[in-house]
Amino acid sequence: MKRSDVVVIGGSAAGIPAAITCRRHYPDKKVILIRKEKQVQIPCGIPYIYGTVDSPENNLIPDDIVTSNDIELFVDDVKEIDRENRNLITQSGETINYDKLVLATGSLPMELPIPGLDKENVFMIKKDSVYLKELLEQVNDSKDVVILGGGFIGVETATMLKKRGLDVTVVEMLPHILLRMLDSDVSDYVADILKENGIKLLLNDTVKNIRIFVGPKQKKYIIKYAFY
């Protein structure tokens, strides 16, 4: 059994700052950070792997940002937490006893109740390097992209895919894009810039179904990607 004063589960935008902050304020404490991913994407940079950054390999958080701060790094998945005895068990069978536990596992993309989400060529934005690399390969073979959601991720992804020369349409159920972050006037200003750059916007609208169209010879001639 291993022993640590503080264990942080999660190695991305919340987990790393939590572990480093603990180390700076309590330099005498032992800190362990556990993450399940072999490689960790910079969350805010994910849309840019389809444009400016160009690949998932160029958008990674280096391990030494953890290890150089005297934080022990475990690449493993936690399968069980015993809060009463303050123990956790990893997928590989390691048991770690802790005084303090920080859960910083991040978020997952919301699966909308839309028929067709399970069809070929429909993807979600996930914080997984292998998945994102596969998605990039599929994007490189495409001409038309539909993005569901006009928040930061949707708009940034739309901009990057347009730079690759794809035909991009954004569908947003609210009357303005970025409405949860900006007021309507600024949102309209951003929308005008997107339209000037050839990005189509379908606002105040929802998607009821996702279908794959095929031509006379049963070859796909329209490939649409959905991002969240």
Nearest CA to 152 out of 50, 46, 51 is that of 46
In angstroms, the CA 198 to CA 186 distance is 19
**Among this protein's residues, is 22 annotated catalytic?**
no
Exposed, middle or buried by CB within 10 Å (0-12, 13-18, 19+), for 120?
A: exposed
Sheet holding 200-203, edge to edge: 144-148, 167-172, 200-203
Set 26, 44, 79, 189: catalytic member: 44
Sheet holding 72-75, edge to edge: 72-75, 31-35, 2-9, 95-103, 87-90, 78-82
The enclosing H or E element of 8 equals strand 2-9
How is the chain split among helix, strand and coil, in percent rounded to 5? 30, 25, 50
- Catalytic residue ranges: 44
